[in-house]
Amino acid sequence: MRRIALALLLLLAAAPLGAAPARARPSAAPVVVELFTAQGCSDCPEANQLLMRLADQPNVIALTYAVDYWDYLGWKDTFARPEFAARQRAYRKAMKLRDVYTPQIVVDGKRQLTAVEADEVEAAVREEARRDVYQPDMQFMGDRVAVGSGRAVRGGAAVWLVRYDAHVQDVEVRRGENRGQTVRHGNVVRELVRLGSWRGRPAMFRLPRAAGPDLRTVVIVQSERTGAVIAAARR
């Protein structure tokens, strides 16, 4: 396995840096759409449905992060974890927003929108899908992922592992703003782990064992400073 991994890194390193002209985003470069939502938020069920529609598009990686800061309204979100709200706060800082809110959608780590504005969100995703990109190659190999060479970004880049449940899940909310409603969710994130840093040179990262057999794996490389997604791959 070590010999194969080394060979892959050498192959990924062979591509010339910055030599290729700008090109349209290839099918292997999906748009990452992240929804920050909560079962205790009255506007969020509609946003969840929007996220699931976007997830049906082949060039989109759609992720649902449940946050916990609305739990005080009377309903404890069954999918929320503190690290998800921390990710949203990191976007707030990078984008210089006044505060966090739900439902919020972040497109490729660069642009945030209110998720109740479906037309604007869908237009932003289409616009990002047409954008010219330069990205490092990414390959999964067993319990590792290789990130190839590419343009280093100022401040470095973080490599994140995201695991999500692709099944549609219904939760009956018994208290709070959505009391009596059954809230539907799709692509619910269950794990968020920082794997390390990428600085433009080929690197290999070990993937921890998944918490469950049905979780799908996504690896995202994004700017430490701005949060912009540099590359993403799904297995």
Instruction: Convert the pLDDT of each residue in 183-217 to its tens digit.
Output: 999 999 999 999 999 999 999 999 999 988 899 99
Whether residue 123 lies inside any domain: the answer is yes
Q: What is the extent of the structural domain holding 92?
A: 2-10+29-234
Lowest mean pLDDT among 16-20, 87-91, 165-169, 189-193: 16-20
Residue 132: band (very low, low, confident or very high) from pLDDT cuts 50, 70, 90: confident
Under DSSP, is residue 38 helix (H, G, I), strand (E, B) or coil? coil
Q: Is the model more confident about 14 or about 149?
A: 149
Tokens of 189: 């994130």
Mean pLDDT value of segment 93-99: 96
Would you say residue 67 has pLDDT above 60?
Answer: yes
Q: Which residues contact 19 (CB under 8 A, 6 or more apart)?
A: none
CATH of residue 176's domain is 3.40.30.10
Q: What are the residues whose beta carbons fall under 8 Å from the beta carbon of 169, sequence distance 6 or more?
A: 184, 185, 186, 188
Query: Which is it for strands 31-37 and 60-66: parallel, antiparallel or unpaired?
Result: parallel
User: Which residue, among 99, 93, 107, has the nearest Cα to 226 in the 3D structure?
Assistant: 93
116 part of a folded domain: yes
Model confidence at 218: pLDDT above 50: yes
Tokens representing 108 are: 């490729």
For tokens 């972040």, name the residue. 106
Instruction: Give pLDDT, residue 174.
Output: 95
Question: Looking at the domain assignment, is residue 150 inside a domain?
Answer: yes
Share of the chain above pLDDT 70, in %: 88
Question: How many domains does the chain divide into?
Answer: 1
Q: Given this model, what pLDDT does residue 4 score?
A: 46
Amino acid at residue number 1 = M
Q: Are 76 and 42 in contact (CB under 8 A)?
A: no
28-32, 112-116, 117-121, 201-205, range with the lowest pLDDT: 28-32
Confidence (pLDDT) at 121? 97
Q: Report pLDDT for 29.
A: 82
In a domain, 23, yes or no: no
pLDDT at 92 over 70: yes
- pLDDT band of 34, cuts 50, 70, 90: very high
195 domain residue, yes or no: yes
Tokens 């490389």, located at residue:
221
pLDDT mean over 6-15: 48
In this model, does residue 20 exceed pLDDT 50? no
Output the pLDDT for position 25. Answer: 52
In angstroms, rounded to a whole number, what is the distance separating the alpha carbons of residues 106 and 58? 18
What is the average per-residue pLDDT within 69-75?
Answer: 94
pLDDT higher for 7 or 62?
A: 62
Do 192 and 171 form a contact (C-beta atoms < 8 A)?
Answer: no
- pLDDT-derived band at 123 (thresholds 50, 70, 90) equals very high
Q: Quote the pLDDT of residue 7.
A: 47
- Helices of type H across 64-173: 82-95, 118-130
Q: Average pLDDT, stretch 130-157? A: 92
**Is position 181 within any domain?**
yes
- The residue-averaged pLDDT of 142-147 equals 96
Report yes or no on 149 lying in a domain.
yes
CA atoms within 13 A on the CB side of 35: 37
SS3 of the chain: helix, strand, coil, percent, to 5: 25, 35, 45
Q: Is position 111 within any domain?
A: yes
